[in-house]
Amino acid sequence: MRPYDLLFDRALTRVDAERIHHAAFRAIRVATPVTGRAVRVSSAPVQALGLTFPHPLGLAAGFDKNAVGIDGLAALGFGHVEIGTVTGEPQPGNPQPRLFRLKADRAIVNRMGFNNDGAEVVGRRLEKWRRGHATSEGVRRTGPASSLGGTVPILGVNIGKTKVVPEEEAVRDYEKSTGLLARYADYLVVNVSSPNTPGLRDLQAVEKLEPLLAAVRRRADEATPDRRVPLLVKIAPDLSDDDVLAVADLALASGLDGIIATNTTISREGLASPAAAVDEIGAGGLSGQPLTQRSEDVVRLLRGRVGPDLTLVGVGGISTVDDARRRLAAGADLLQGYTAFVYEGPLWPQRIVRGLAD
């Protein structure tokens, strides 16, 4: 058993999951000067979204909601970091406890509710972060060596709807976030698939999604007249196959740059954890190994529909090198992880990237 496994099983799981998350993230940030010099991950670069990614693996949105630890996460070996989800207005999220582990399933249930500092604060933080690094177009897009000894990662910004904003005003809310954040993003993601904001998943319906994406595209172009920020949408694994194909068709028709598949699931089928324990946790999005097959199937379905050119980001249940290889074989250009990072520890991104390189 690896040292991290002992630490996780005998210590970390005895403390509330959200408290451990914050403590671990502080440690990652503090250790950045050391890890940035120590970690060296060699892999063939990936061309996607008009950008050069140092390798396929990135960190999914949800870990760094407020853009406070981008360099620390890159120093651990992630080639791209997606911050957020950020909303137009700051919000505290749902009542605690709201983050739970299902160890038997190597899974997590969360109902965080887009807790974040809001687009204005995060925008100021990203502006400072950009100033702290070389910011020419070539540098931003290729992830050069940073002063910390690691690399400046490709930065994704994931935006969602403020909870108190009614559905009929959702477009305005997304436009606000876009105007404040697009200029700092290497790519922008419209999140309409979290199960923890009431009514959000309704926006995945094509008749609602099409005008939303068009509005975000217009606002992003207004905010970044010197370049075109790639725009992606993140979808749920709970969509029917027909709805997945409808989103694929919309992506092609609207000139979308990519799709992220998939977000967390509301399903609880096939879990190894005791049903009573799952029921006690209650509502929330499930992530981790139970998503592996469905997320892979959605990527394969999308690739078959969109052809070779649209960028697909595979996320959900990627724990091992074999998982990563299968997701790439299914049609993903890029990969993201979150739950496996929690269960496997800080060396996990290096193991995946090196395994893929081998």
Domain boundaries, the chain: 3-94+112-262+291-357
- The one-character DSSP state at 331 is T
Nearest CA among 180, 214, 186, 192 for reference residue 80: 186
Clarify whether 194 is annotated catalytic: yes
pLDDT reported for residue 40: 66
Q: Is 72 annotated as a binding residue?
A: no
Of 146, 177, 193, 194, which residue is the catalytic one?
Answer: 194
CB under 8 Å to 238, separation ≥6 — which residues? 201, 265, 266, 267
pLDDT given at position 135: 47
pLDDT of residue 151: 59
Residue 148 has pLDDT above 50, yes or no: no
The DSSP element (H or E) to which 36 belongs, if any, is helix 32-38
| 198 or 170, which is more confident | 170
- Per-residue pLDDT tens digits for 2-51: 788 777 777 778 889 999 999 999 999 999 988 877 666 678 899 999 99
DSSP secondary structure, 259-323, as one string: EEE---B---TT-SS-HHHHHHH-SSEEEEGGGHHHHHHHHHHHHHHH-SSSEEEEESS--SHHH
Residues 332-347: tens digit of each pLDDT? 999 999 999 999 999 9
Q: What is the pLDDT of residue 39?
A: 61
How far apart, in whole angstroms, are the C-alpha atoms of residue 260 and residue 294?
13
* For residues 133-141, average pLDDT: 49
So what's the pLDDT on residue 174? 97
Q: Tell whether the model's pLDDT for residue 141 goes beyond 70.
A: no
113 is in an annotated binding site: yes
Nearest to 264 by CA among 193, 341, 340, 190: 193
pLDDT digits (tens, 9 = 90+) for 229-255: 999 999 999 999 999 999 999 999 999
Mean pLDDT of 293-307: 98
Q: Considering only 136-140, 188-192, 300-304, which range has the smallest mean pLDDT?
A: 136-140
Indicate whether 137 pLDDT > 90: no
Q: Is the pLDDT confidence value at 284 over 70?
A: yes
Give me the percent of the chain exceeding a pLDDT of 70.
Answer: 93
Q: Mean of the pLDDT values across residues 203-223?
A: 95
> What's the CA gap between 85 and 159, in Å, rounded?
5
Question: Annotated binding residue at 234?
Answer: yes
Establish whether 115 is an annotated binding residue: no
Which pLDDT score, from 0 to 100, does residue 303 have?
98
**CATH fold group of domain 3-94+112-262+291-357:** TIM Barrel (3.20.20)
- If you average pLDDT over every residue of the chain, what do you get? 92
Is residue 61 a known part of a binding site? Answer: yes
- Which tens digit of pLDDT belongs to each residue from 79-134? 999 999 999 999 999 999 999 999 999 999 999 999 999 999 999 999 999 999 86
Contacts of 358 (CB under 8 A, 6+ apart): none
Tell me if 330 is assigned to a ligand binding site. Answer: no
